[in-house]
Structure 1
Amino acid sequence: MTGMTSSARVRLVAPVVVLAVLSLGPLVRVGGLTAGAVVVSTLLWATALARHRAPLAALGVAAVVLGAWWVAHGLEPQRLLPAGVVLLWLLASVADRRPVREVVVATAVVAAVPVTLAVLGLLGRLGGEGVVPLSAVTVVAVVAGRNRRTRRSLLVALEERAVRAERERDAGARAAVAEERTRIAREVHDVVAHNISVMTALADGAGYALAADPERARGAMAQVAATGREAIAEMHRLLGVLRADGEPDDAPAPGLAQLDQLLEQVRSAGLAVTLSVTGTPAALPATAQLAVHRLVQEALTNTLTHADGARSARVALRWGADALEVEVVDDGRGERPRDPDRPAGHGLVGMRERFGSWGGTVETGPVDGGWRVRGTLPIGAQVPA
């Protein structure tokens, strides 16, 4: 029993001790409680301590001990040992833990008892009436052991399936995050490339517009332009490999100015959408505006796709001193059944990833009569690295 915890030892030993003590009670009533009966009963129950590690060997030892007792004392009722029931326990353990061929051997060993009684009955000797009940309990022991083995195998298979499903879910989540970051990097690439292109053009013009020390100014502006061009080339080299959809798009990414166009597209799809703006708008970087635009877009797309019975939605931009709060609320009654052929999306992952890159948060959940998506974006946050 080395390597076992104290609780495991208790579970192994306690049932053996309890049953050993209880098995001595019938011997007291029939007057068969002798020193030899106590010793043999103790030996029989001691074999049950090996029911987990070596059940077939333990069954063989118990059968030899019990057979030797019967040979020495016969089968008179006062000489029968109740501890012999340990054979059935060990038979169930063999059926539970060992392969089929060992179960057959163990069943044959235990079945020798009713076979012997049957022979004695045919010879007209005492004991023949016990053939039927002993045969029945032998079968029950084998069936109970195999049933327990089947249930344990099923539980192990279910646990393995659950672990595998959890790993696949985590892998899917990581893949979704990686895919969304790739998409974000692609869009950041477009926005920054557009702005740097504008900067380069302005720097070229400024180089010719300055009047004071035109040669030096022209040289400095030329250097700015060269640096801008070099930055564009380097950015294309480092981030362009993230593209997976062909040629780059020269148009800037959508921002707050494109929200009206987005809402008009949603209205044309049959969902009545209203937009309210409160507070004093502040200047937001292009990628921050992109995050807001994508949150509204994803929330309204989920309403059209998943909200059961949704007829309208409200989009609210609340400008505060330190943060912009974006809220999208629909009146859907709940989530309609998802098409099993349609793969699950990762829109929530994307929204949280975008706002998280700016130090913001995204919350989703039900509200009275619908569903709400609310994002908070700090104003004046630094451009994420």
Structure 2
Amino acid sequence: MTVSARVRLVAPVVVLAVLSLGPLVRLGGLDGGAAVVSVGLVATALARRRAPLPALLVAAALLAAWWVGHGLTPQRLLPAGAVLFWLLAWVADRRPVREVVAATAVVVLVPVTLVVLALLGRPGGEAVVPLTAATVVAVVVGRNRRTRRSLLVALEERAVRAERERDAGARAAVAEERTRIAREVHDVVAHNVSVMTALADGAGYTLATDPERARGAMAQVAATGREAIAEMHRLLGVLRAGDEPGQDAPAPGLDQLDQLLEQVRAAGLAVTLTVAGTPAPLPATAQLAVHRLVQEALTNTLTHADGARAARVALRWGADALEVEVVDDGRGGRPRDPDRPPGHGLVGMRERFGAWGGAVETGPDRGGDGWRVHGTLPLGAQVPA
């Protein structure tokens, strides 16, 4: 126990002792028995924090012994007996209801006894009302302190819980944003590097036989690299403080599909695009999901499909959904480099479409030996939060 805690425990007891013994001195000298009982009563208050109910019972026993030996009269109602109501308030504040009821019953015996004596014609009946009032006040004050303390504890717990939830929400938002940026970076890097690799391989094969074509392929490599750098700046610009809003280029959508297909064609893969149905307005993030699906599917064809020479991209607009399908003519996948970690392209496709209530299916083409990627995007889906 700290020094300040000891002072808070002992100081009120010392004050009560002085206030209790003072009236005994003024009333004609300090009676030894009254002084001993008064000091004993006051001393019980030292246990009010650890054991308020036992302290109250001890104080009640001391008072009862004093009154039995000296008679229960107003003159014998020791001022130190006020400690009984103080301890009752502590019991009401710190202890459960059943102990509060027991302590109240013990203290109520005092006014009840006075009532009985008054009915028998003995003195003391005039103290019934103040003692009863003191009992009620002690219980009410104690329970009120308990209620206020419980309320403060509940408010503190709520504040701590709200702070934890806020921190958890902030961490979740940061993790979600990091995942989104990582997915975007993967799509951009994987596609453009795959295109650049295919172009560089083609330039190497034709360098000796067709220098002009090789130079054109290398020029396309440079253009693709510059485009990749520009898109990386757009994606990572949100991580730099101080950027002005509205300076980033718009996210790629359906209008950029032709440009994407030209890049893939330049890398040596013959790609065709067919559109069926009546196009409907799509939010920018939904268009981005479609664009990334086509981009990832064609990137996988360039990177993994063995012997793929052509691919078909189809957009089928329906009344309720947009179907996106990419099919290549490869003969199965190339062996994966064991030093290269597995990618997350398929996971990214499903996450993008899943955010809009859509679904993505991948697997062998049902009409040939190639690979098929099929996505369904509901047109009436709500904007994801």
- TM-score computed with the length of structure 1 as normaliser: 0.56
1:31, 1:78 within 8 Å by CA — same for their partners in 2? no
**Selected match of 2:24 from 22, 27, 46:** 27
**Distance verdict in 2 for CA 1:53–1:67, change over 3 Å:** same
Shift of 1:51: 1.2
Question: What SS does the corresponding residue of 2:243 show, helix, strand or coil?
Answer: strand
**Distance verdict in 2 for CA 1:127–1:154, change over 3 Å:** same
Shift of 1:284: 6.0
Cα distance in 2, alignment partners of residues 134 and 206 from structure 1:
107
1:32, 1:78 within 8 Å by CA — same for their partners in 2? no
**Distance verdict in 2 for CA 1:325–1:49, change over 3 Å:** closer
**Selected match of 1:102 from 91, 94, 99:** 99
Q: Tell me the amino acid that sits aligned with residue 231 of structure 2.
A: A
**Selected match of 1:55 from 52, 65, 69:** 52
Shift of 1:78: 4.1
Cα distance in 2, alignment partners of residues 90 and 84 from structure 1:
10
Further displaced range: 202-211 or 141-150:
202-211
Residue 118 (1) aligns with residue 115 (2): yes
**Structure 2 counterpart of 1:326:** 243
Residue 290 (1) aligns with residue 235 (2): yes
**Structure 2 counterpart of 1:147:** 144
Post-superposition CA distance 1:46-98 (Å, at most 9, x none) = 11111122111111100011111112222344433100000001111111112
State percent identity of aligned pairs. Answer: 78
**Structure 2 counterpart of 1:206:** 203
Cα distance in 1, alignment partners of residues 174 and 2 from structure 2:
42
Shift of 1:142: 0.9
**Selected match of 1:43 from 40, 49, 57:** 40
The correspondence of residues 246-325 of structure 1 with structure 2, limited to 5 A, is: 286-292=231-237
1:120, 1:126 within 8 Å by CA — same for their partners in 2? yes
Q: Tell me the amino acid that sits aligned with residue 121 of structure 1.
A: A
Shift of 1:324: 9.6
Post-superposition CA distance 1:159-204 (Å, at most 9, x none) = 2222222211111111111111110000001110122023112212
Cα distance in 2, alignment partners of residues 113 and 67 from structure 1:
9
1:117, 1:127 within 8 Å by CA — same for their partners in 2? yes
Cα distance in 2, alignment partners of residues 325 and 90 from structure 1:
64
Question: What SS does the corresponding residue of 1:326 show, helix, strand or coil?
Answer: coil
Instruction: Give the CA RMSD over aligned residues.
Output: 3.0
Cα distance in 1, alignment partners of residues 36 and 116 from structure 2:
29
Gaps of 5+ in 2: 215-223, 247-385
The correspondence of residues 223-262 of structure 1 with structure 2, limited to 5 A, is: none
Question: What SS does the corresponding residue of 1:327 show, helix, strand or coil?
Answer: coil
Q: Tell me the amino acid that sits aligned with residue 56 of structure 2.
A: L
Cα distance in 2, alignment partners of residues 325 and 151 from structure 1:
48
Question: What SS does the corresponding residue of 2:205 show, helix, strand or coil?
Answer: helix
Residue 133 (1) aligns with residue 133 (2): no
Cα distance in 2, alignment partners of residues 25 and 106 from structure 1:
28
The correspondence of residues 64-103 of structure 1 with structure 2, limited to 5 A, is: 64-103=61-100
Cα distance in 2, alignment partners of residues 154 and 79 from structure 1:
41
**Distance verdict in 2 for CA 1:134–1:64, change over 3 Å:** same
Cα distance in 2, alignment partners of residues 209 and 150 from structure 1:
87
**Selected match of 1:164 from 150, 161, 166:** 161
Question: What SS does the corresponding residue of 1:24 show, helix, strand or coil?
Answer: helix
Cα distance in 1, alignment partners of residues 17 and 142 from structure 2:
21
Cα distance in 2, alignment partners of residues 163 and 324 from structure 1:
30
Residue 177 (1) aligns with residue 177 (2): no
Q: Tell me the amino acid that sits aligned with residue 84 of structure 1.
A: G
- TM-score computed with the length of structure 2 as normaliser: 0.56
Q: Tell me the amino acid that sits aligned with residue 236 of structure 2.
A: A
**Structure 2 counterpart of 1:319:** none
Post-superposition CA distance 1:313-362 (Å, at most 9, x none) = xxxxxxxxxx9953249xxxxxxxxxxxxxxxxxxxxxxxxxxxxxxxxx
